Amino acid sequence: MTSSRKFGTDVRRSILYYVLVSFFAVLVLQLFNMQVIKHEFFDGKSADNSIKGIVQTPLRGVFYDRNYKIVVNNKPSYTLLITPSNYSRKLNNVIETVIGAEPGYIDEILADNVQYSKYLPIRVQRDVSFQVISWIEENKEQLPGVSYIVDMEREYPDSIMASHMFGYTKEISRKQLEMNKDYYDMGDFVGNNGVEKTYEKYLRGIKGVKYMLVDSRRKEIGRFKDGLNDKESVKGDDLVLTIDADAQKAAERGFKGLKGALVAIEPKTGEILAFVSSPQYDLNNFTTVTPKEIWRNLNSDPDKPLYNRATLSVNPPGSTFKPLAAIAALEEGIITPQSIINCPGGFYFGRFFKCHGGPHGPLTVEHAIEKSCNTFFYQLILRIGLDKWADYARRFGFGHKTGVDISEENRGILPSTEYYNKRYGKNGWTKGFIVSLGIGQGELSVTPMQLAQYVSLIANDGKSVKPHMVKGYVDPGTKNLVPFKFDPIDTRVSRKTMEIVKHGMYLVVNGAGTAGNAKIPGITVAGKTGTAQNPHGKDHAWFMGFAPYEDPKIAVAVLVENAGFGATWAAPIARSVMQAYLNKSSLHQNQAVAKNQNTPKDQTPPKNQDTPKDQNVSKGQTVTKDQAVTKGQTVSKEKTITREKPVNKGQTVTKEEAVLKDQNERKIKNAPKNQTPKGQKGSKGEEKIVAASNKN
């Protein structure tokens, strides 16, 4: 019995012994694993508990206009922070009262952000006054978890608004954060629209980090290794925009109290000189977190100030589209410069189409543009054909997005056989649908941006570059411009055709046309007015034009909503913009950033900037750092407008030709120097197209 008990005791001792040995063996192995095998991992974990990395937000890049004048800058401001792990919500009422927030504001902010880390400071309010900061400093012992930092916010030092062009920054949303975790943190501001959004990767810079020693309660107690491991932030790239501040100011003044849009382009380069969507909104309301009341007011405003009319609103272009039909007909050989179509006051095709201002009598294409004769272009589009006309319209940028370097853009509507078949069925439409397209009406709709590209292509003989708002970025080391490259545009239209159409537009302004209000003393302007029919109210007014006629440096498209006639409302606005730009003594200013341009020191990027420049700004766009900066490119002028051959001796002249001859002689007096208008005199082999009467 005794031996049996002893045996049982020995067994239990043995089991206990082996259990203890096994336990210590596991413990030793675990210690070995932690101290040797996974030393670096646990060393990092330990450091995490004693070292805090504080992200250093870089300065955002600034905007210069084309003459290197700062139009969007940064300014310091105070931001109130709360670190949830140290903060007592009993302080909510006090803090909300001091900063002027509504009850529950802080709880809402913390609830949205604390999920990311309760140990990270959360931005509670930006642009806090110095008085609030002084109060925090005086009472910091009673305000655990409450602190502040000096942040940067956008500043607009010039008097221009350009809200739809510049765009604004906005606090990053949860959805955006999920898609961009590698760079952004909660509370960061990102470009929300306009240039701020398109060029976000250039503007944002590279974040830095400052390491601090902390105690067990995460309270900072000093610098880690005296800052040797800190990483400095790198300022974002400064962008040089294409706009001219004076032209932009003139455009904004012109639209005071009006709704509409304006886009001005340098024809040879595609650079946008002025860009307005009216009404605009105050960008100063978006430099920090925008109050809900402001959002409500903007969204409920019936004039829709947040809506970018320049790239999104679509309307029939009216008579501004008549030059397009002229281009197609001339290029296809359907008419010649001397071809005549008679205007008896209207045109009958299934029904009667009235010609406003008619009858105009016999007209050539130049004088049809000058008089804006509907009858001429009703017949012309039927001769061209729907799909051939649509093909030329596409070449000039209609029916698809222009690709301008802001994200929000409408493609408009360009009718074609495919379009009508899809909408009405193959047997659901007739050629009668086509007639109105010849004068820019019907289901055709375009944006002001598209019309600006169209008139700039006319001005530069059918060639240009994709419209864009940014020239490039400033190299932080050399201070020189590193230009972005944009795709060229070629409409494949002959220069001869373009000269004929341009001269017709010259007569619109300087002859017996409708746009005398666009004249500028000492500068020859060419243009075309238009009226967009509006079934919901007063018609919209269009004008497009370019100047100087001899060597175009600016092309402008203007839409004024609910204004009536383009000559009365739109043309004067275009005139003021062209005048402001062309009268500047700095038109041919060197594009390189001058070393003595007095760039503020706090805006100078560090020399060791290594921000990658391989991001695509837009489809097909590349960045070429070694590309030379050019300006003032010229186009060959070997071809000028000349008079037609005189009537041969003994050649008879018809009554219609005599009328045209008389018209031409009156217009020669108004022709610009070194430019003689194309005559209407009969010549051998001349084609005469006489319109059928309206009974036909």
pLDDT at residue 49, as a whole number: 56
Amino acid found at 19: V
Of 233, 308, 245, 305, whose CA–CA distance to 274 is shortest?
Answer: 245
pLDDT more than 70, % of the chain:
79
Task: Count other C-beta atoms under 10 Å from residue 566's C-beta.
Answer: 31
Of 534, 599, 596, 635, whose CA–CA distance to 59 is shortest?
Answer: 599
Q: For residue range 454-478, what is the model confidence (pLDDT) as tens digits? A: 999 999 999 999 999 999 999 999 9
Assess contact for 352 and 411: CB atoms under 8 A: no
What DSSP assignment string belongs to 217-284?
T--EEEEGGGGTT-B--BPPPPEEES--HHHHHHHHHHTTT--EEEEEEETTTTEEEEEEEES---GG
**Structural domain contains residue 197:** no
**Based on the domain organization, do 256 and 385 belong to the same domain?**
yes
Say if residue 41's pLDDT is above 60: no
Cα angle, residue 524 at apex, residues 520 and 526 outer, rounded to 5°: 100
pLDDT at residue 218, as a whole number: 64
Assess contact for 313 and 278: CB atoms under 8 A: no
Assess contact for 325 and 671: CB atoms under 8 A: no
**Structural domain contains residue 669:** no
* Cα distance between residue 293 and residue 237, in whole Å: 33
Enter the tokens of residue 325.
Answer: 């039909």
**Based on the domain organization, do 388 and 506 belong to the same domain?**
yes
The separation between CA 291 and the C-alpha centre of its own chain, rounded to angstroms, equals 25
SS3 content of the chain, % helix, strand, coil (to 5): 35, 20, 45
- Give the pLDDT mean for 6-25: 72
The domain boundary residue, chosen from 574, 600, 623: 623
Range among 285-289, 342-346, 644-648 with highest mean pLDDT value: 342-346
Per DSSP bridges, beta strands 341-343 and 488-490 are unpaired
pLDDT at residue 390, as a whole number: 98
pLDDT band at 632 (very low <50, low <70, confident <90, very high): very low
Would you give the DSSP letter of residue 673?
A: T
Assess contact for 500 and 367: CB atoms under 8 A: no
The domain boundary residue, chosen from 623, 645, 674: 623
**Based on the domain organization, do 122 and 268 belong to the same domain?**
no
**Based on the domain organization, do 460 and 401 belong to the same domain?**
yes
Per DSSP bridges, beta strands 63-64 and 239-241 are parallel
Assess contact for 659 and 481: CB atoms under 8 A: no
Of 423, 425, 456, whose CA–CA distance to 442 is shortest?
Answer: 423
Assess contact for 133 and 76: CB atoms under 8 A: no
Q: Does a cis peptide bond (omega within 30 degrees of 0) precede residue 672?
A: no
Query: Dihedral of CA 685/336/670/673: which sign?
Result: negative
**Based on the domain organization, do 316 and 226 belong to the same domain?**
no
**Based on the domain organization, do 226 and 251 belong to the same domain?**
no
Residue with tokens 């003459």: 67
* Cα distance between residue 286 and residue 79, in whole Å: 15
CATH assignment of the domain containing 118: 3.90.1310.10
**Structural domain contains residue 599:** yes
Domain around 228: 52-161+207-233
**Based on the domain organization, do 274 and 156 belong to the same domain?**
no
Residue with tokens 């192995």: 29
**Based on the domain organization, do 544 and 408 belong to the same domain?**
yes
Assess contact for 567 and 516: CB atoms under 8 A: yes
Say if residue 439's pLDDT is above 90: yes
**Based on the domain organization, do 436 and 484 belong to the same domain?**
yes
**Based on the domain organization, do 212 and 274 belong to the same domain?**
no
- Give the pLDDT mean for 386-413: 96
**Structural domain contains residue 658:** no
What lies within 8 Å, CB to CB, of 103 at 6+ separation is 93, 96
pLDDT band at 133 (very low <50, low <70, confident <90, very high): very high
Q: Cβ-count burial of 215 within 10 angstroms (0-12 exposed, 13-18 middle, 19+ buried)? A: exposed
pLDDT at residue 39, as a whole number: 58
- Phi and psi, residue 102, nearest 5°: -75, 155
pLDDT at residue 43, as a whole number: 53
Of 141, 145, 27, 14, whose CA–CA distance to 86 is shortest?
Answer: 145
- Give the pLDDT mean for 437-447: 95
**Structural domain contains residue 355:** yes
Helix (H) or strand (E) holding 501: helix 495-510
Of residues 35 and 60, more confidence is placed in: 60
**Based on the domain organization, do 218 and 72 belong to the same domain?**
yes
pLDDT band at 688 (very low <50, low <70, confident <90, very high): very low
Enter the tokens of residue 621.
Answer: 């766009």
Q: Among 149-153, 301-305, 385-389, 490-494, name the one with the lowest average pLDDT.
A: 149-153
pLDDT band at 621 (very low <50, low <70, confident <90, very high): very low
pLDDT at residue 346, as a whole number: 87
Of residues 141 and 635, more confidence is placed in: 141
Helix (H) or strand (E) holding 472: strand 470-474
* Cα distance between residue 296 and residue 284, in whole Å: 16
Of 281, 312, 277, whose CA–CA distance to 407 is shortest?
Answer: 312
Enter the tokens of residue 365.
Answer: 């294409």
pLDDT band at 140 (very low <50, low <70, confident <90, very high): confident
Name the average pLDDT for the chain: 81
pLDDT more than 90, % of the chain:
49
Say if residue 692's pLDDT is above 60: no
Please state the domain count of the chain.
2
Helix (H) or strand (E) holding 3: helix 2-32
**Structural domain contains residue 498:** yes
3-state SS track over 283-316: HHHHCCCCCHHHHHHHHHCCCCCCCCHHHHCCEC
- Give the pLDDT mean for 168-197: 89
pLDDT at residue 37, as a whole number: 66
Of residues 466 and 220, more confidence is placed in: 466
**Structural domain contains residue 549:** yes
CATH assignment of the domain containing 436: 3.40.710.10
Q: For residue range 107-128, what is the model confidence (pLDDT) as tens digits? A: 888 887 766 667 778 888 888 8
**Based on the domain organization, do 212 and 271 belong to the same domain?**
no
**Structural domain contains residue 588:** yes
- Give the pLDDT mean for 229-245: 95
Q: Among 339-343, 492-496, 568-572, name the one with the lowest average pLDDT.
A: 568-572
pLDDT at residue 55, as a whole number: 83
pLDDT at residue 631, as a whole number: 35
Would you give the DSSP letter of residue 33?
A: I
Of residues 683 and 325, more confidence is placed in: 325
Q: Among 289-303, 506-520, 542-556, name the one with the lowest average pLDDT.
A: 289-303
Say if residue 524's pLDDT is above 60: yes
